[in-house]
């Protein structure tokens, strides 16, 4: 949390609020991951640190890399995790948290992102392509949470 806070708190306070909310969601869903809970929390805490002015270079992983013509390079350097629920959980945490760190539905979050970008922009194209997978990830995590004994 220190690294993310140091990089985001002052230059991007709204992004920092979002990051803190995503980290809180990660704590809430930890029971569905078992041993992967610590990794989820670390990923949630750092997931937007790339937006920090000192570090801004990459975001939106493979789909954005594809839009930039860099998918193969990124996939080679950073292979996908073989833990689908962990990846789903990070998507869930990110896409159910507003830019201000509050709770949201994935549908509202995607709509909020789309409202900030024109459809033909890099992010606009990405979010349209990613929305079905975002919603599927959120549904899988919600199902896993529902299946947990209370």
Domain that holds residue 18: 2-147
Predicted confidence at residue 1, as pLDDT, reads 84
pLDDT along the chain (150 residues), means of 10: 91 95 95 90 91 65 72 72 85 97 98 96 92 96 91
Give, in order, the Cα–Cα distances in Å from 37 to each of 8, 54, 86.
23, 28, 8
Predicted confidence at residue 80, as pLDDT, reads 64
Predicted confidence at residue 71, as pLDDT, reads 76
Predicted confidence at residue 112, as pLDDT, reads 97
Predicted confidence at residue 62, as pLDDT, reads 63
Predicted confidence at residue 82, as pLDDT, reads 73
Judge if pTM exceeds 0.85.
no
Predicted confidence at residue 59, as pLDDT, reads 42
Q: Residue 99 and residue 17: Cα distance in Å, rounded?
A: 7
Give the number of domains in the chain. Answer: 1
| HEC-encoded secondary structure of the chain | CHHHHHHHCCCCHHHHHHHHHHHHHHHHCHHHCHHHHHHHHHHHHHCCHHHCCCCCCCCCHHHHHHHCCCHHHHHHHCCCCCCHHHHHHHHHHHHCECCCCCECCHHHHHHHHHHHCCCCCHHHHHHHHHHHHHHHHHHHHHHHHHHCCC
For residues 117 and 59, is the Cβ–Cβ distance under 8 A? no
């Amino acid at each position: 949390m220190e690294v993310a806070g140091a990089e985001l708190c002052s230059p991007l306070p709204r992004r920092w609020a979002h990051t803190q909310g995503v980290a809180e969601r990660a704590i809430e869903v930890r029971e569905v991951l078992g041993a992967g809970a610590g990794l989820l929390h670390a990923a949630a805490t750092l997931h937007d640190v790339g937006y920090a002015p000192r570090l801004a270079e990459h975001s939106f992983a493979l789909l954005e890399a594809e839009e930039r013509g860099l998918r193969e390079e990124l996939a080679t350097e950073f292979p996908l995790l073989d833990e689908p629920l962990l990846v789903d959980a990070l998507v869930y945490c990110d896409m159910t948290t507003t830019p201000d760190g509050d709770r949201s539905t994935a549908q509202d979050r995607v709509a909020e992102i789309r409202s900030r970008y024109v459809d033909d922009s890099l992010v606009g194209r990405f979010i349209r392509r990613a929305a079905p997978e975002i919603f599927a990830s959120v549904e899988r995590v919600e199902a896993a949470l529902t299946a947990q004994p209370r």
